[in-house]
Structure 1
Amino acid sequence: MESLLFCCLILSCLSGVVRSAPLEEEITTPPPPPRPYAFGYAAGRYPGHIDRTHSEVSDGSGIVQGSYSYVDPRYQIRTVEYIADRSGFHPILNDAVPDLPSDTPVVAAAKENHLRRYAAIANAHQVAPGQAVVPADTKAVQFAKNRHFTLFQQIAEEHARLAAERKAEGLEIDPNSLEHY
């Protein structure tokens, strides 16, 4: 029995040595492939009002490029572009207001023509102070007005006739009463 116990002890020691040999080798797993991404959003404090944006792109290798914008307390739009890599976060504040593009000769000529026509129309519509301008009715408006006045006159005559009949019958209409409605 003792020899059996001794054999089991030796086998268990040898099996531990055999098992530990492969653990001494370092098993490495290859790194996962790069996982690039891109996102962007625009948000505001109430519907239809955008007061901040953010967009970001990464190629998955650890370098991230992006920008964000916001409205500061003085109602100025601030934009920050940045690069984040292994050595840190590198912001670039963009305070410069971009120059407006200059007009091409065709656009400049069109603007000049527009302003000239606008001034001519404005001068033609000038009215002396205190003088009222009453627009003239078109034929359709005049027809509708005449029709309205004719119908109004017919209704007024009908009401006068009914009031006279009631008065002749001795039925006075109390204007404050709702019975006749």
Structure 2
Amino acid sequence: MEKVLILFFAISQIACDVSHILLTEELSTIPPPPKPYAFGYAAGRFPGHIDRTHSEVSDGAGNVQGSYSYVDPRHQIRTVEYTADKNGFHPILNKNQPDLPSDSKSVFQAKQRHYEQYNAIALQHQSPQILVVPRDSVAVHNAKNRHYTLFEKIAADHARIAAEREALRLASKNTLEDHY
């Protein structure tokens, strides 16, 4: 018993001594002022394809200027230029984007054929479908008939048993009434 207490005391002293982890002195250094920086990157979904960019420059006094660009769902390049300072974040969407080149005559005709085919397929899929119910094979038909025959036999047996029990109940009731 004495060895167990000594072992417990030694383990508890080791496990509970966390004084070396606690900081007893305060930090006396002030964090350094922000430093100027600049960065930029361009990225894409696969090699050789760029669909987003970002660049930013800070003067080290808390003022930041930058811009980012991305390709929107309409395949137009959108650019946002921004400034961040002590008064907040100020984005400006550049709406004067260069127009995409117009389609050539053959590309326009190919697009038209594509849209016509697409619409024809869409119309075919919108029309009501004729519901085709599969026919039972001979084996399935015979199995269903066996099932229905067994079901009717079991239902008849259950009805017969229920009638027999009711008759027994009534007979025992009449017998008990005759005794009293």
TM class by smaller structure: 0.3 to 0.5
TM-score by length of 1: 0.37
Which entry has the higher C-alpha Rg, 1 or 2?
Answer: 1
